[in-house]
Structure 1
Amino acid sequence: MPHLQFEINKKLKKNCKQKFIAFIEESFSKIMQTGTDHIAITLRELEKENISLGRVHKNDTLCLMNLDIRSGRSKKQKIELVKTFMHGVEKFLKINKNNQYITFTNHKGIEFNFYEKSLSDWVKSEKDRY
């Protein structure tokens, strides 16, 4: 169950949030070759003073992304995900690509849990499994 976390320093309208989350869910599913029912997304709107990225001017908007994903994804998949997510943040949230930063944390499948089960390790083309 990936947990895709986005922290921004601006307020968004409800429909903007909904479109962004749908874009992230669909993009992750396609690039990472998995279903959508186990994708968790958090979008946190913080005050400007509560978030910082060294290269960003203090009055600019920014987005920090922490992507907890299952181990086994290829470097190519991760690079495609970075480019796609940064494009989406710019398109939907209106935050310049230079004001974005992404970190990946890789986990074994057993570290992702629903009430009824843990996920298995990721395997290529599991799209219909979850």
Structure 2
Amino acid sequence: MPHLQFDINKKLNSKDKNKFCKYVRDSFGKIMKTGTDHVAISLRELKKDALSLGRAKDNEYVCFMNLDVRVGRSVKQRRELVKCYVKAVNQFFSVNKENQYITFTLHNGRDFNLYEKSLENWIKDDDPLNKK
């Protein structure tokens, strides 16, 4: 169950947040070769001075992403996801690409839990909540 966290120092409108979350979820499924029912997204709006990135100028918006995912994804997949999400944050919320910072935390499947079960380790094209 990936937990995709976005911290941004900007007030956002509900319509854009909903569209963004759908885009994030759908893109994750496509790039990471998995279903999307188990994808968790946190989008936190913080005050302007609550985030700081060394290369950002004063009063510029920034976005930090912490992407908790299951082990097994390739560097190529992770880089594709980074580029996809940086472009999306820029397009949806007008945060400069240079003012975004992304970290991945890789977990074994059993680290991710829903009410009904723990997830298994990732395999290509899995859909952990819709196993036959």
TM class, shorter-length:
over 0.9
Secondary structure of the residue aligned to 1:118 is: coil
TM-score normalised by structure 1 residue count: 0.97
User: 2:32: which partner in 1?
Assistant: 32
Give the gaps of 5 or more residues in structure 1. Answer: none
- Cα deviation for residue 129 of structure 1 reads 3.8
- Report how many residues are paired: 129
Give the gaps of 5 or more residues in structure 2. Answer: none
Percent identity of equivalent pairs: 57
User: 1:12: which partner in 2?
Assistant: 12
User: 2:111: which partner in 1?
Assistant: 111
Aligned-partner Cα distance in 1 for 2:124–2:75: 14
User: 1:56: which partner in 2?
Assistant: 56
Aligned-partner Cα distance in 1 for 2:64–2:26: 20
User: 1:87: which partner in 2?
Assistant: 87
2:67–2:104 contact (8 Å) kept in structure 1: yes
TM-score normalised by structure 2 residue count: 0.95
Structure 1 vs Structure 2 CA RMSD: 0.8
- Cα deviation for residue 125 of structure 1 reads 1.6
